Amino acid sequence: MPRPPIVAPSLTGRGNSAGAFALGRLDSEKSRRGRRGLSLQDHAILTCMNSIVARIDHIQIAAPEGCEIAARDFYGSVLGLKEIEKPPVLRARGGCWFEGGSQQLHIGVERNYHAAKKAHPAFAVFHLDELRKVLTDRGVAVVDDDNLPGARRFYAEDPWGNRLEFVEADD
Residues 65-84 pLDDT 10s: 999 999 999 999 999 999 99
Q: What is the pLDDT of residue 33?
A: 43
Write out the H or E segment, with its range, that includes residue 133.
helix 128-137
| Nearest by Cα to 47 from 22, 24, 17 | 22
The average confidence (pLDDT) of the chain is 81
Sequence ranges of the domains in the chain: 1-54, 58-168
Cα–Cα dist 8/141, whole Å: 43
| Among the four given CATH numbers 3.30.70.260, 3.10.180.10, 3.40.50.300, 3.40.109.10, the one describing domain 58-168 | 3.10.180.10
Q: What is the pLDDT of residue 170?
A: 86
Between the alpha carbon of residue 69 and those of residues 65, 131, 154, the distances in Å are 11, 20, 25
DSSP-derived letter for residue 138 is: T
Lowest mean pLDDT among 32-41, 48-57, 117-126, 155-164: 32-41
Cα–Cα dist 48/83, whole Å: 37
What would the pLDDT profile of 121-149 be if each residue is shown by its tens digit? 999 999 999 999 999 999 999 999 999 99
Q: What is the pLDDT of residue 60?
A: 97
Q: Could you tell me if 113 and 64 are in contact, meaning their C-beta atoms sit under 8 angstroms apart?
A: yes
Q: What is the pLDDT of residue 51?
A: 77
* pTM of the predicted model as reported, rounded to 2 decimal places: 0.70
Q: Is the dihedral of CA 72, 75, 79, 82 positive or negative?
A: negative
